[in-house]
A and B are shown apart, each in its own frame.
Chain A
Amino acid sequence: MNPNKEEKNILLAFLALYETATHDGYIGAMLVTDSQGVPQEFRCTHTVKPTLIQRPLYGDTLESYIGVNLCGIPLIGSIQNKPTLIVVHKEFLLGVRKTSPCPVVFVRRAGEAIDIKTSDRPEVKLRRERIDSPTGRVQPVVLIPHHDFDDDIASARKLFEGIMNYLDPIEPFERMAKAIEVLGKQDKRFQ
């Protein structure tokens, strides 16, 4: 099945934060592809290495701060090919939605996590949608938007229902991880 004309114009951006092999730093990366997953642009950051003092001072907020403020938002600003949708692989990266010009969703495999309610307040309940591949080629996924931007789920669902005929939305993150690994071997600024 080939993409139709509308789908051909779609650009997807995959935003990820990877830890270095030595576990002492983080690299942010963003891959922009068309609806079939063919790369259009790739941007990444040099390694961010918090010091031994900074780590405990930031505590649990370290990853989200680095992922969103230091890497995610600047990466979104630096890409030339503006995407229709940004997909993130970690929930804390949804924080980029506050400054992102386009919808942002967190995607994971359906059934790979158990959601535990930490509060009874209705406003913290996250909307989520399960998307199945029409052809069954791709495993179903769950989309989760930023809690302040619930409307993103509708546009994301519509888009995913089309592209999941030929693109697994989790797979590009694996490519990016491998690319980051190769970059790390070639250049010490990515180690």
Chain B
Amino acid sequence: MGNAKLLDNLDFFEKINLKLVSKIFPVKRTKILLLDKIEIDLRETRINQISIPPIPLPEITSDLSVVKPALAEQKIAPSYVQIITCNNTQCSKKLRMQIDSQLIGRSLKIQCPICNHAFIYSLTKDDLVEDFTTWLKEQLFYPEIETISVLIGIPLRVGKSYKTFGADDRQTTLFEREEGDQTCIHGVKRMSCSICIEKKRQDIERPSSHVDLFDIIFPILQPPLGENFDSPIAFPSILFPFQRTGIKFLIDHERALLADEMGLGKSIQTIVAIRFLLRMGKVNNCLVLCPKSVLTDWAKKLWEWAPELRVVKIRGPKEQRQVSWNNSAHIYLTTYETLRQDLSASLRELREREPKTLSLFNDTQEIESEEAVEDIARKQFDLIVLDEIQKTKNPGANITKASRRIDARFRWGLSGTPLENRLDELISIFAYLKPGLLHYDDASKPLKVKEAIKSYFLRRRKADALPELPEKHHEEAWLELSTAQRGTYDKAEKEGIVELNEKGDSVTVTHILALITKLKQICNIDPVSQESCKIEYLLEKLEEISEQDDKALVFSQYPEKTLKVLEPKLEQFNTLVYHGSLSDSQRDQIVNRFQEEEKSKVLLMSVKAGGLGLTLTRANFVFHFDLWWNPSTATQAEDRTHRIGQEKTVFVTTLFTVDTIEEKIYTLLKRKRELFKAVIDDLSDTNLTKILTEEELLSLFNLKKVKPGTKPVIPNGGLTIESFRQISPQQFERLISSLYEKMGYQAKQTPQTRDQGVDIFAKRVGESGPESLAIQCKHYQTGPVGVEHARSLYGVIQDQPSITKGILVTSGEFSRECMEFARNKRIFLIDGKYLVGLLEKYGVSHLEFI
């Protein structure tokens, strides 16, 4: 208020009502006044209002675009709205004016739309109020119109019928049964259907990713175990008193080592004991570990001696094993190696997830594993049986470590070897069977060891059981062909059937026998890979026999194809060979050596040569490596050892392979048991056709003899391999395309050029999903198809994951390299002979394409 200028302008005070103070607070100096408040009343004031216009609704135009408008940065020039009053005092209407920034600072001539009065209006920026209406309008987007489907599509249905078995054969659903003359989904007999046979072969050979899912879940769909023991316990044959003693020994001992000599029936005693324990409720499940060579034999014995128990054989691809382990069963049957494989990585995972759980296990060392199965580490078993337990004598071996991780209440070991003479092994074995019973220091104290294990150890020699045993004891060993053997066998069978078919009514028993012989030789030993499941089994058994100071005779019908191969493989037993081509003196020498030399444990003999007045009573084990037609011939061979002078029971074992011609012949002959008896009684070398008729022999390959006098109807116009000479390569491709269409595929030929090495693409939807084939046709009249074509096709299918399989078809043959390359790959080879068979089966005639 010290401003003199302000005090001069008294007009200011006329316009205001100034109330300075209502109270004055005197202070020390009068120049300072404290005022409690100041009120200023401004008269004639005017309030300026800003009108915000409403945002107009967006316009919907006809050119609606479904494409989202691009959002661009729009530099919108600001616009302003000004409310001005008409200068006409009689009007004084408020006008809303939209002004652009360009007009700022300019004088505008305004005409009032109401009174038409014109006046000048000068615009300054300070007077303006920015109008955001336009800006807001620009930001509004037209919504998209989207079509939303409410339809939910019907899903694809998949699945499988398991109804190939009778309802009362509950356990057989876990094993394959012979399919006989059943018709497959392709409308032909299963045994003749090349697609089903090939699918079955590939199911065995394929990597794990191609397993049928519905086979994997089949065990899960089984009813629960429950109480299946309503029926009285029954046995397929009489148990000897010593076997009943053994069974009781096992039942009464949670920890036991049954060490009977080979041939006394350890497996059978164990199986019966398991049955009793299950019925008594003392155990709920059981794990049986055995060597691979006897796995199938165990399965067969379990089926025979414990039909009411659910047995799961753990083998096959990883996914199959996983489901099998996780499924409920009375008995889990597997090999040491499979257990090792499936247990180790499962433990590793468990270790990572739950370190505390490790305390449940008695060994924490790592084991290498290739493929693992979940949850096996958590599985609890009430009873574990270790067959050939001497295989786990080495505590450092991986299979030993794996098997000893199983913490079962009942632990039984089976062994035929004389363990009582091997204290180190005994101590190692009992370290698992009965921990703490023995110590490694006790190896030098045999008496102490024997005394300690007395309660847990039972061993009977054949001499002990002799009064109860028959003079001769027969047994069958059923084995599975190895993978390589199976491949060779199936191929030979297919080709053989095609050849027999080609012969038509000129086929004779001789032709059939030739094929049977070839197949039986493959069952013995695979000529390509030299693999043999029978040799594996024999080696296991001969080791035991050798260790218990017994000797064995091994008979075969094929001295050249079988015995010659066997001899070097059984070298460790100082094997001797006796066959017809030896001179008399040589034969005598061999017989004497076998009878007198302790180191010669095995004598290989051809059936015919061995059946001539020989005395080989030193041996009490006989193995028939393959089955002779006439059982009396086999009996004669066995009688070289089962005769006067023999002091021991003679154990005869015949080796068979499942799902082969041997099994078919066995089944056929079994049906003719009555005729057998007559033949045996005659003890003569009966003509084969007196045992099996020609029709029966043909039926082994699902063939039928054409009646004489009738012309055989050959639907394809008499197609042979030579017939292919009549057609060109293009016609050959059309022929193959037509064949696959008949097989249920949709086939499409590729253009002649730029076909990328594929002549035909074929597709169909099978039970397990879509199948897509890439087919290459090689119409070769001379020379085999080389490996380069197989490589080329393989390269094509590798680049196209949608292709299931590659097919290489030729009217001729494949080279050996080509066949070897295609093995175990997604390539299937069809040579001329096989092609003829397929064309005949599906009724495709080459004449249509000429």
Contacts and interface: CB of A to CB of B under 8 A. Distances in A.
A41 B162 contact: yes
Interface string B153-179: 111111111110001101001000000
Contacts of B173: 38
B163 A41 contact: yes
Nearest to A27: B155
A167 B161 CA distance: 21
A46 B155 contact: yes
Nearest to A178: B220
B222 A38 contact: yes
B821 interface: no
Contacts of B148: 53, 57
A78 interface: yes
B230 interface: yes
Contacts of B168: 8
Interface in A1-27: 1-3, 8
Given A8-B167, A182-B217, A40 B158 contact: no
Contacts of B150: 53-54, 57-58
A74 B159 contact: no
B162 A46 contact: no
Contacts of B163: 40-41, 80-81
Interface string A163-186: 000010001100110110011001
A184 B159 CA distance: 14
B828 interface: no
A8 B167 CA distance: 7
Contacts of A57: 148, 150
B157 A74 contact: yes
Contact of A39 (B156, B162, B216, B231): B162
A157 to B, nearest CB: 22
B162 A42 contact: yes
Interface in A67-115: 69-71, 74-75, 78-81
A40 B221 CA distance: 10
A43 interface: yes
Interface residues of A, number: 50
Interface stretch (A29-37, A124-132, A139-147, A148-156): A29-37
A39 B220 CA distance: 10
A45 interface: yes
Contacts of A3: 167
B327 to A, nearest CB: 9
A42 B223 contact: no
Interface centre among B154, B173, B230 (most CB of A within 10 A): B154
A58 B221 CA distance: 33
Interface string B132-166: 00000000000000001110111111111111000
Contacts of A42: 159-160, 162, 214, 217-218, 221
B323 interface: yes
Contacts of A1: 230
B91 interface: no
B214 A182 contact: no
A44 B157 contact: yes
B319 A179 contact: no
Nearest to B146: A53
A92 B158 CA distance: 23
Contact of B213 (A30, A48, A53, A187): A187
Contacts of A64: none
A34 B167 contact: yes
B709 interface: no
B496 to A, nearest CB: 34
A43 B159 contact: yes
A50 interface: yes
A181 B309 CA distance: 26
A39 B159 contact: no
Contact of A179 (B149, B156, B167, B220): B220
Contacts of B231: 2
B162 A186 contact: no
B613 interface: no
B220 A80 contact: no
A47 interface: yes
Nearest to A39: B221
Interface in B363-378: none
B161 A182 contact: no
A150 B208 CA distance: 49
Given A38-B167, A80-B161, A171-B224, A183 B213 contact: yes
Contacts of A80: 161, 163
Most buried by A among B161, B162, B170, B223: B223
Contacts of A48: 152-153, 155
B206 to A, nearest CB: 15
Given A175-B220, A175-B221, A78 B157 contact: yes
A44 to B, nearest CB: 6
Contacts of A179: 217, 220-221
Given A39-B222, A175-B220, A179-B217, A75 B157 contact: yes
A70 B213 CA distance: 23
B221 A46 contact: no
Nearest to A174: B224
A62 to B, nearest CB: 9
A46 B161 contact: no
Q: Which of B148, B162, B220 has the most CB of A within 10 A?
A: B220
Nearest to B218: A39
Contacts of B153: 48, 70
B230 to A, nearest CB: 7
A54 B159 contact: no
Contacts of A44: 157-159
Contacts of A70: 152-155
Given A42-B217, A182-B217, A78 B159 contact: yes
A40 B156 contact: no
B155 A182 contact: no
Contacts of B218: 39, 42
Contacts of B149: 54
B616 to A, nearest CB: 51
B505 to A, nearest CB: 38
Nearest to A70: B154
A25 B149 CA distance: 17
Contacts of A39: 162, 218, 221-222
A46 B158 contact: yes
A41 B153 CA distance: 24
Contacts of A78: 157, 159
Interface of A: 1-3, 8, 28, 30-31, 33-48, 50, 53-54, 57-58, 65-66, 69-71, 74-75, 78-81, 167, 171-172, 175-176, 178-179, 182-183, 186-187
28 contacts: A36-B223, A39-B162, A39-B222, A40-B162, A40-B163, A41-B161, A42-B214, A42-B218, A42-B221, A44-B158, A45-B155, A45-B156, A45-B158, A46-B157, A46-B158, A50-B152, A53-B150, A66-B152, A70-B152, A80-B163, A81-B161, A175-B220, A175-B223, A178-B220, A179-B217, A183-B213, A186-B213, A186-B216
Q: Which 10 A-B residue pairs are closest in the complex by CB-CB distance?
A: A43-B159, A37-B223, A45-B155, A39-B221, A179-B217, A40-B163, A41-B161, A34-B167, A46-B155, A78-B157
Given A70-B154, A171-B223, 9 more contacts: A39-B218, A39-B221, A40-B163, A42-B159, A42-B160, A42-B221, A43-B160, A45-B156, A57-B148
